[in-house]
Amino acid sequence: MHPRRAALGFSLFVLAALMGQAIAADLLLNSVRPAQRAAPASAAPLAAPNPTCLEWTDGCRVCQRAANGETSCSNVGIACVPKAEECTRR
Q: How far is CA 52 from the centre of its chain?
A: 34
- Global pTM value: 0.50
What residue type is 9 in one-letter code?
Answer: G
Q: How far from 81 is each of 35, 65, 84, 87, CA to CA, in Å? A: 23, 23, 10, 18
What burial class does residue 63 get, using C-beta atoms within 10 Å of its C-beta: 0-12 exposed, 13-18 middle, 19+ buried?
buried
pLDDT digits (tens, 9 = 90+) for 40-82: 545 566 777 788 899 999 999 999 999 898 899 999 888 889 8
75-80 CB contacts, 8 Å cutoff, 24+ apart:
76/42, 76/43
